[in-house]
Amino acid sequence: MLRDDAPTAFHGVTRRARRLRREMTLPEVMLWQVLRGRPSGLKFRRQHPSGDYVLDYFCSDARLAIEVDGEGHGRGRQPVVDARRDSWFEARGIVTLRVSARDVLGDLDAVVTGVVQACVARLPLHHPATRGGPPPRAKLGEE
């Protein structure tokens, strides 16, 4: 794992995340059954509390949030709320990928392929150096 950093959850959000884990919708459960198997070696968290929000799924290495949007996300004020939330995460270096619940129910394999491709595209080209790790090869006299 490259890094394990997401904005810290605000007061009460962790409790809400735990409740949402128990009350996942059918499309969320279907997607989780695949993502928990770490496709392409990627680690995902479900109902991950971050800031004032709970992410449906979060890939920390890719800094990618995956949201399964049901029918209600296109109605009323919800598109404005979703845009504000996406902007909040984007300001912190996390991109949100929105997936339709209908797509998950209709073609789960295509959704998983899209999620994995989005994650892989956001992975850094190399692992950052760890503190206290070995010095670069040039400093060891190797070329």
> Nearest-CA neighbor of 7 among 58, 49, 64?
49
Which pLDDT score is estimated for 138? Answer: 61
H-helix segments, 1-143: 13-22, 26-35, 78-90, 101-106, 108-122
**Is residue 105 within 8 Å of residue 30, measured between CB atoms?**
yes
Q: Is the pLDDT of residue 107 over 80?
A: yes
Q: Which of the four pLDDT bands, split at 50, 70 and 90, describes residue 2?
A: very low
Domains in the chain, CATH or no CATH each:
13-140 (3.40.960.10)
> Nearest-CA neighbor of 73 among 63, 62, 86, 64?
86
> Nearest-CA neighbor of 18 among 52, 54, 44?
54
Radius of gyration of the chain (CA): 17
Query: Tokens at residue 108, please?
Result: 């789960």
Q: What does pTM read for this prediction?
A: 0.75
Q: What is the mean pLDDT of residues 80-93?
A: 90
Among 33-37, 43-47, 128-132, which is the least confidently predicted range? 128-132
Mean pLDDT rounded to a whole number for the chain: 83
